[in-house]
Structure 1
Amino acid sequence: MPRASAADAAETARRILEVATAHFADRGFASASVDEIARTAGVTRGAVYHHYASKRGLFSAVAAAQQRGIADAIATATARSRPADALRDGSHAFLDAITREDAARILLVDGPAVLSWDDWRRMDAAGPEAELRAGLADAGVSAALVDAMTAALSGAMNELALWLSRHQADTGALAAAHEALDGLLDGIR
């Protein structure tokens, strides 16, 4: 049997990742099944393991893609922002992106447990945290406080995202979350 072309292999890996994202978001890591992911993606279990080595490896790829998507949303939201507005625009973009399509479950609930805290922190540091750190520096936060402010605001926004994920049926929750975020941002000098 002829080997798949590089384009075919990339398309298979993309399809597996797409299906796995939906499964992990819907069921969580523990309840997601590699067999079901493979079946839904129209591939064999062996194809999943060929591209991602393990269920954890597949989850890691899903989490990394989610982190990149959130960092991209922040960068897009701040691309045309005035320096004085970039931190606010990026923070609101983060909150919207992480609560869209169950990214909060993948990144904030299962992520630290499945990937290990250190791996999860490295992944976050390379994506959304880097955007936040730059935004704080651009907003005039002193270099001596950037690390502490990054940790404080990141933690607050992650908790706010988790709160939103538990209040999806509440039509006022998103507006309340954005108002609360503005209150936090107003306190940054």
Structure 2
Amino acid sequence: MARSNRERTEATRQALLDAARVLFVSRGYGETSTPDVCAAGGITRGALYHHFADKRDLFRHVLAEEAAAVAAEIEAAAPEGLEGAEALIAGAQAYLDAMTVPGRTRLLLIEGPAVLGWREALALDEAHAARTLRDGLDAAGVGRHGGVAGALAPLLSAAFDRAALEIEAGADAARVRGAVLWLLRQVLGQGPGPD
């Protein structure tokens, strides 16, 4: 069966994104050129510039795919109907699991802010994982009085990001995960003090 123009266009775009992701992870943004991406994807430079304005735009789309994948994993782990606190804890664990995909931490937490700038990287996070965290805090009833959840969400997000970086750097993953869960239980008013 012949593929439609739309299917071919999407296949070309995805081949570029996939090739770019591999190169951005293995070489970094600065050491990856658009000719490298085209060669790796078997796509012409004209096709690349048909889909993306430049290398930075391509990088932005790679990051958007990564951020959407993280949010999807969080949402799958914390489906509708799950009690708020349970959903928040399941979502936190899913975030840490999602960040163990090779290269993801580097892309989203190191290269992303460096290449796109803090504001754009933050906006990308806000549209994906940070949104799921804020929704989880709301569902768990955290800070309903006094607007604490709005201020707490970015602080917890930073803690989760740091945990992902620690795990990526070789820290004891079980210990880091345990610390994140302890922190969440404190926020939820469910846990004892630290050991």
Does residue 30 of structure 2 align to residue 30 of structure 1?
yes
What is the rounded CA distance, in whole Å, between the counterparts of 1:110 and 1:88 in structure 2? 27
Residue 82 of structure 1 deviates from its aligned partner by 2.7
State which drifts further: 175-184 or 87-96.
175-184
**Deviation string, structure 1 residues 15-37 (Cα, Å, up to 9, x no partner):** 11011111111211111222111
Gaps of 5+ in 1: none
Q: Secondary structure at the match of 1:140?
A: coil
Determine the structure 2 residue equivalent to 1:159.
162
Determine the structure 2 residue equivalent to 1:184.
183
**Deviation string, structure 1 residues 51-108 (Cα, Å, up to 9, x no partner):** 1110000000000000100000000000163323000000110111122121110110
Determine the structure 1 residue equivalent to 2:137.
136
Q: Secondary structure at the match of 1:100?
A: coil
Counting aligned pairs with the same residue, the percent is 34
Contact 2:85–2:140 (8 Å) recurs in 1: yes
What is the rounded CA distance, in whole Å, between the counterparts of 1:121 and 1:57 in structure 2? 16
- Structure 1 runs (4+) deviating above 6 angstroms are none
Residue 10 of structure 1 deviates from its aligned partner by 0.8
Determine the structure 2 residue equivalent to 1:102.
103
Q: Supply the RMSD in Å over aligned alpha carbons.
A: 1.4
Q: Secondary structure at the match of 2:30?
A: coil
What is the rounded CA distance, in whole Å, between the counterparts of 2:148 and 2:128 in structure 1? 20
Instruction: Please state which structure has a larger fraction of its residues in helix.
Output: 1
Determine the structure 1 residue equivalent to 2:21.
21
Paired residues, number = 182
Contact 2:163–2:177 (8 Å) recurs in 1: no
TM-score normalised by length of structure 2: 0.88
Contact 2:83–2:140 (8 Å) recurs in 1: no
Contact 1:77–1:89 (8 Å) recurs in 2: yes
Determine the structure 1 residue equivalent to 2:193.
none
Residue 152 of structure 1 deviates from its aligned partner by 1.1
Contact 1:87–1:139 (8 Å) recurs in 2: yes
Q: Secondary structure at the match of 1:188?
A: helix
Determine the structure 2 residue equivalent to 1:59.
59
Contact 1:81–1:89 (8 Å) recurs in 2: no
Q: Secondary structure at the match of 1:32?
A: coil
What is the rounded CA distance, in whole Å, between the counterparts of 2:85 and 2:183 in structure 1? 15
What is the rounded CA distance, in whole Å, between the counterparts of 1:28 and 1:156 in structure 2? 24
